[in-house]
Structure 1
Amino acid sequence: MPDPVPLPVTFRPGGTRVVLHVLGAACFVVITAIALVLDTMSPAEKVSFVFTAALFWGVLGLLARPRIVADEDGVTVVNIARSRRLAWAEIVQVNLRPGDPWVFLNLTDGTSLAAMGIQPGIARQSAIRDARALRALSEARTAVQD
């Protein structure tokens, strides 16, 4: 049976990523411009403003990091601070219930893993489509391995 989606495939919350990166860039530009325009600040204070702006953009970049990468061997779930590699056989079920902030993967060890790469926040229909595609891939790959 052919895969429902060609592999490898990466699922990302595109709209959220764009908003976070644009917000980070805009804040960096504004804070840096303020630091450079104010004559009453010392060079060290100006550097600290720019450093703080870069740090803020970096934090927003971390929030934009989540993704799910599916390939022939399994799935890599990249969340804000951690990533985890799963074999297809480890995934029992892919869930995106109404009100969930992101997809949850039920695993064979009885735990559930948040997969923040599919988020219904800004683009609900896209998240539902991606969750269905990941579910179909999981079911197809698990059936092949049985």
Structure 2
Amino acid sequence: MPETTPGPLPALPVTFRPARTRAVLLTAGTALFAVITLIALLLEQLGPGERISFVFTAALLAGVLFLLARPKVVADEAGVTVVNIMSRRRLEWAQILRVNLRAGDPWVFLDLSDGTSMPALGIQPGIARARAVADARALRALAEDRSAAGPGTAGG
């Protein structure tokens, strides 16, 4: 989207993450673990092995929710680090041709100089759409500013 509102660029380093979604996931994971563990301890008819399996299951479920809360995008002077659920990738500014957040997209997509597109789950409009749009615009402005200063940037 060529529409970029000129404004002050965020100070680097800056971290973009879905704060509300993250808070919900971390709270739910902690509460889920606590409740299932409490149930395992309070049910007198359970043996030690069953109690351990309850706690282990609670830890697995909480772990999944904690992994879902992991995504972030960290921009610094040298480039961008995209942390998704199970992966982390470091990109130089010149590798990012475009930052996209179209209507209906679940998160930002980065068009890269190698012809691929990469999801950046750290900016997602799920619960806080206005925040995600502002973050996407800020990352787009940073990418345009930093890429213009670097060599080998193709227009998109």
TM-score normalised over the length of structure 1 = 0.96
Per the alignment, residue 88 of structure 1 pairs with 93
**What is the distance in 1 between the residues matched to 2:11 and 2:32?**
38
User: Deviating runs (4+, > 6 A) in structure 1?
Assistant: none
**What is the distance in 2 between the residues matched to 1:29 and 1:109?**
46
**What is the distance in 2 between the residues matched to 1:4 and 1:140?**
9
**Structure 2 runs not aligned, ≥5 long:** 1-6, 152-156
Instruction: Indicate if the aligned counterparts of 1:65 and 1:80 stay in contact, CA closer than 8 A.
Output: yes
How many angstroms does 1:66 deviate by?
Answer: 0.3
Q: Deviations over 1:48-76 (max 9, x none)?
A: 10111011111111000000000000000
1:136 aligns to 2:154 (yes or no): no
Q: Percent identity?
A: 64
Per the alignment, residue 71 of structure 2 pairs with 66
Instruction: Indicate if the aligned counterparts of 1:28 and 1:54 stay in contact, CA closer than 8 A.
Output: yes
Per the alignment, residue 39 of structure 1 pairs with 44
**Structure 1 runs not aligned, ≥5 long:** none
1:102 aligns to 2:121 (yes or no): no
**What is the distance in 1 between the residues matched to 2:51 and 2:76?**
46
Q: Aligned-residue CA RMSD in angstroms?
A: 1.2
